[in-house]
């Protein structure tokens, strides 16, 4: 899988500042529910930064194409701009670069669930590919933080995205004659 396939702009990111930090669900009957935080070890923060930078760069590439077209597609432009804005906002929290060593961070998953999932999954896939390529060549590299990164990706995958539609594909379970 190449890097272009890993960095996908198919997911939408909510960029509404009033939604940051809280999520609403049907069971709460409209009351705000605090979104759980995700603890990221200091040794894994550089992987998050690299993944988020890849997401930001991919969004910039799409924006560059869209603004140079005679008739840009508003949906594509808005998705790319939202992705860029979410990555920028994440960097406001985690910092653009390391300053005096990495520290553990606690992130509110709500505003960045899709970005975190994509960024960490991308970096995990790249690291696994790097290790596999080296093994094929007979070089055994230190796995460093790859297992911990994989656990973090799995932990994030288990958490529901508070901004994802609740029954996104529920119509697929209906009998074919009722689907229309």
pLDDT of res. 36: 75
CB atoms within 10 A of CB 143: 13
176: its two tokens: 């074919």
- The answer to whether the CB of 111 falls within 8 A of the CB of 20 is yes
Local structure of 39: helix, strand or coil:
strand
Label residue 101 by pLDDT band (50, 70, 90): low
Taking the alpha carbons at both ends of the chain, their separation in whole angstroms is: 36
- Taking residues 95-108, report their average pLDDT: 80
- What CA–CA distance (Å, rounded) separates 111 from 166? 17
User: What is the SS3 assignment for 46?
Assistant: helix
**Choice among 70-84, 126-140, 165-179 with the minimum mean pLDDT:** 165-179
**pTM given for the model:** 0.68
- pLDDT tops 70 at residue 156: yes
pLDDT score recorded for residue 34: 43
Does residue 150 have a pLDDT over 70? yes
User: Given this model, what pLDDT does residue 144 score?
Assistant: 84
Which SS3 state, helix, strand or coil, does residue 23 take?
Answer: strand
**pLDDT higher than threshold 50 for residue 124:** yes
pLDDT number for residue 86: 93
Q: pLDDT digit string (tens) for 5-50?
A: 444 544 434 444 433 443 333 344 444 444 478 889 988 999 999 9
Written as six digits, the tokens of 34 are: 């605090």
On average, the pLDDT of the chain sits at: 77
Alpha helix locations (H) across the chain? 3-6, 45-68, 74-94, 109-136, 146-158, 176-179
């Amino acid at each position: 899988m190449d890097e272009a396939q890993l960095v996908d702009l198919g997911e939408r990111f909510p960029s509404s500042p009033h939604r940051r930090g809280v999520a609403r669900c049907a069971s709460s009957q409209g009351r705000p529910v605090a979104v759980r935080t995700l603890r990221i070890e200091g040794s894994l923060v550089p992987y998050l930064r690299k993944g988020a930078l890849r997401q930001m760069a991919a969004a910039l590439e799409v924006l560059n194409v869209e603004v140079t077209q005679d008739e840009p597609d508003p949906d594509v432009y808005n998705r790319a701009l939202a992705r860029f804005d979410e990555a920028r906002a994440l960097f406001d929290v985690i910092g653009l670069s390391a300053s005096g060593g990495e520290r553990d961070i606690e992130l509110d998953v709500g505003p960045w669930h899709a970005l975190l999932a994509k960024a960490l999954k991308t970096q995990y896939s790249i690291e696994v590919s790097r290790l596999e390529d080296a093994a094929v060549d007979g070089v055994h590299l230190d796995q460093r933080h790859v297992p911990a990164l994989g656990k973090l990706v799995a932990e994030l995958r288990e958490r529901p995205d508070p901004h994802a539609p609740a029954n996104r594909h529920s119509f697929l379970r209906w009998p074919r004659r009722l689907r229309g």
